[in-house]
Structure 1
Amino acid sequence: RCDLLEILWQVLSSLNELKSFEARLLTKFEYYICNHKKLYWDVTIHKAILNLPLRNEEQKVLNMVLEFDTFFLQSKTQQESSPILDTRFCLENICPTYLINGTQLKFQIQDVYNCFGIELTGFKVNLFEPNIPRVVSVIDDFNASFDTRLCIFFDEADLKILEVLLNFCDLVCFLVHCYGAL
């Protein structure tokens, strides 16, 4: 499996020599759709806690604890996702037709992005020092959803690698006493 990924990476990287953005992207996309299987994600995680050890400026060891009630990650189609792509590319709204192996292909810039929806419910962030029993609450009970787009070509400088659109009902409430602890 690693050998196939290495070969795919080498082939796609070799196409970077093409000067025309449109020709380079079309050639990469043609190779990609002929040699890649689409994977759809539908993940739900309940009651998770992530403990991140940190050091502050005085080299004090701190633990940042990220906690959430539910985490959802789901693949989305282009029609379901939010329109967050930058409009600087002429291909975004124009739908040129290309011939690939004798087959007509309608190609849009959105086609080179994988789209995901992410939802967090009951998200909390706490800080504490291991030797002190006091816990400082930084973010308390926050709900949010994200629409993300991840480019399938990480080495393409003319495209954004990752785009995120954040939707939330309430503003994040940073508790007043947390500022001194940070």
Structure 2
Amino acid sequence: MTDLLHKPTIIGDRVILRPFEPGDIPYMEQCLRDPEVIRLTGSDEVYDSEVIVRWYSTRNEQADRLDLAIVDRSADVVVGEVVVNEHDPVKHSMNYRILIGPRGRNRGLGTEATLLIRDYMFQNTDLKQLTLSVFAFNPRAQRVYEKTGFVLESVEEGALEDDGKLIDSYNMVLTRERWEKLKEAGGV
């Protein structure tokens, strides 16, 4: 198992990925209550403040996952989170997900955050792949994932019901081998 108890600070041009601090919780609560975040993540639950405080207060203690705040450097404010979790010891794989609230959208912050965490994970662990799932009604996220090297692996048809319609979920993967080839070729 990859030990992720060490929570790094990763600095990019536009974002900083860092461990959560107590002052970040109100910003994450805003993100989690945003209707677009709720819809795009397929969530059907609105968490109360106590649950959110308890959750984010324990993220830095977890050795089996990496949860980092995304800080917009231009405003010095938390706009979301990156998470690497769900270790699969057979495939030497972990799941990746990202959540960006309204303050951080449509400015390339999610792309940079994905590139930073992707590189960190492959440079600092022995993982063979990162996986993720994205709903068909989220083409913006699909483009980010494709741009950062993820490729479609499978489709889970009708994975989510949204407003009376069944929505497919796209399962994507980025292998260490593909990541190495992208880096060697001078790609993202």
Report the TM range for the smaller structure's normalisation. Answer: under 0.3
TM-score, length of structure 1 as denominator length? 0.24
More helix by share: 2
